[in-house]
């Protein structure tokens, strides 16, 4: 299920003193079954963008199409003046295609297909026990109670929370554990698109790595994974495509390797440390091919190659 943004803009609190324009004229195609990273400085619009994909927010203008679901503004735009008959007919046809009324069951179906783990997992937890919290999603989507509990247990084990957590209150957990519960809650519903907003914040390095590897496995099984992050090391290691946001706009869409080596400080981002290290070696005179270096292993191999050749 690809995701296509078409000239989408979004304003928070329109026509109020708190009005703030968060997304500006976004046109973007996110292909299916890929590991996609969305990066950009604080306040650049990443969280606002992903909330359009499962219709938690709806555009102010433009639209985003997710499979056969189109998330569109509440109000239809006015027809521009001065169109000829043919253009009027085309406008009307496009309007009919985009502005289909959503029934609540359509939105529910969309949210089953698009799972979103919030940046602040606290917002997502509300049941008295971890088990109930994680089983809520599948139950809500019509799965029988016992099956929902079974899915919940599987999802919890996948994120690294064992049985001792099942009956605990989600509110008494540490930040990292809460995040794991929130991720399990989404995994339990087996979405086709998994969107995770800063999923490794608050996790220790081992748990962060396990979580990222879990997402990679999920992608390998055919799910689209969309990762919002500031961490370019994660982008280097895991992403196949990266979208750079700046000031509510998409600045760049490319493969991670195309991004590294450019001046990323203009977006308040840094090159992956491993890539910077490779560049430094090159500047110091080592003949080394920095292209495609994404991990410690890649760098080690590049150094060995350089030694063998020289």
Binding site residues, ligand ATP, CB under 6 A: 12-13, 20, 22, 40, 42-48, 119
Q: Which is nearer to Mg ion, 49 or 184 (CB)?
A: 49
Residue 48 touches Mg ion, criterion: CB under 5 A? no
Span from 53-61, 75-83, 112-120, 272-280 in contact with Mg ion (CB under 5 A): 112-120
Residue 139 binds what, of Mg ion, ligand ATP, none (CB under 5 to 8 Å, by partner type)?
Answer: none
Angstrom distances, CA of residue 31 to CA of 35, 47, 66, 72: 9, 19, 11, 20
Residue 42 binds what, of Mg ion, ligand ATP, none (CB under 5 to 8 Å, by partner type)?
Answer: ligand ATP
Q: Which is nearer to ligand ATP, 48 or 189 (CB)?
A: 48
> Could you say which of 8, 22, 30, 47 contacts Mg ion (CB under 5 A)?
47
Residue 13 binds what, of ligand ATP, Mg ion, none (CB under 5 to 8 Å, by partner type)?
Answer: ligand ATP
CB of 198 to Mg ion, least distance (A): 7
For the chain, the DSSP string reads --EEEEEEEEEESTTSTT-EEEEEEEEEEE-TT-EEEEEESTTSSHHHHHHHHTTSS--SEEEEEETTEEE--SSPPPPPTT--HHHHHHHHHHHHHH-PPPPHHHHHHHHHHEEEE-SSGGGG--SSSHHHHHHHHHHHTT--HHHHHHHHHHHHHHTT--GGGTTS-GGGS-HHHHHHHHHHHHHTT--SEEEEESTTTT--HHHHHHHHHHHHHHHHTT-EEEEE-S-HHHHHHH-SEEEEEETTEEEEEE-HHHHTTS--GGGT----HHHHHHHHHHHTT-----TT--SHHHHHHHHHHHHHH-
CB of 44 to Mg ion, least distance (A): 9
CB of 46 to Mg ion, least distance (A): 5
Q: Which is nearer to Mg ion, 119 or 240 (CB)?
A: 119
Q: Which residue is nearest to Mg ion (CB)?
A: 47
Residue 174 binds what, of ligand ATP, Mg ion, none (CB under 5 to 8 Å, by partner type)?
Answer: none
d(C-alpha 106, C-alpha 103), whole Å: 5
d(C-alpha 82, C-alpha 26), whole Å: 26
Residue 189 binds what, of ligand ATP, Mg ion, none (CB under 5 to 8 Å, by partner type)?
Answer: none
Angstrom distances, CA of residue 216 to CA of 6, 212, 213, 235: 28, 6, 5, 12
Residue 43 binds what, of ligand ATP, Mg ion, none (CB under 5 to 8 Å, by partner type)?
Answer: ligand ATP
Span from 116-124, 211-219, 271-279, 295-303 in contact with Mg ion (CB under 5 A): 116-124
Q: Which is nearer to ligand ATP, 168 or 249 (CB)?
A: 249
CB of 267 to Mg ion, least distance (A): 15
Q: Which is nearer to ligand ATP, 131 or 198 (CB)?
A: 198
CB of 5 to ligand ATP, least distance (A): 14
Residue 211 binds what, of Mg ion, ligand ATP, none (CB under 5 to 8 Å, by partner type)?
Answer: none
Span from 44-52, 74-82, 170-178, 200-208 in contact with Mg ion (CB under 5 A): 44-52
Q: Which of 235, 284, 270 is nearest to 255 (CA)?
A: 235
Binding site for Mg ion (CB under 5 A): 47, 119
């Amino acid at each position: 299920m690809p995701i296509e943004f078409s000239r989408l803009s979004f304003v928070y609190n329109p026509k109020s003193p708190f009005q703030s324009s968060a997304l500006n004229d976004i046109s973007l195609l996110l292909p299916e079954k890929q590991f996609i990273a969305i990066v950009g400085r604080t306040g650049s619009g990443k969280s606002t963008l992903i909330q359009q994909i499962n219709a938690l927010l709806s555009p102010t203008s433009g639209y985003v199409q997710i499979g056969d679901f189109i998330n569109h503004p509440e109000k239809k735009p006015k027809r521009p003046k001065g169109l000829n008959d043919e253009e009027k007919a085309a406008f009307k046809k496009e309007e009919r295609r985009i502005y289909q009324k959503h029934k609540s069951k359509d939105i529910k179906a969309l949210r089953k297909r698009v799972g979103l783990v919030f940046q602040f997992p606290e917002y997502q937890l509300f049941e008295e026990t971890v088990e109930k919290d994680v089983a809520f999603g599948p139950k809500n989507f019509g799965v029988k109670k016992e099956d929902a509990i079974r899915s919940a247990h599987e999802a919890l084990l996948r994120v690294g929370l064992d049985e001792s957590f099942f009956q605990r209150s989600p509110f008494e957990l540490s930040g990292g554990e809460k995040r794991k519960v929130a991720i399990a809650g989404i995994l339990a519903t087996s979405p086709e698109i998994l969107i995770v907003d800063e999923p490794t914040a608050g996790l220790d390095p081992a748990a962060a790595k396990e979580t990222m590897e879990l997402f990679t496995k999920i992608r390998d099984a055919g799910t689209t994974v969309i990762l919002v992050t500031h961490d370019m090391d994660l982008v280097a290691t895991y992403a196949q495509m990266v979208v750079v946001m700046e000031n509510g706009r998409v600045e760049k869409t490319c493969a991670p390797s195309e991004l590294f080596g450019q001046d990323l400080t203009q977006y308040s981002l840094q090159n992956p440390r491993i890539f910077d290290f490779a560049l430094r070696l090159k500047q110091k005179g080592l003949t080394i091919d920095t292209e495609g270096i994404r991990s410690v292993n890649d760098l080690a191999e590049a150094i060995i190659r350089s030694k063998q050749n020289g």
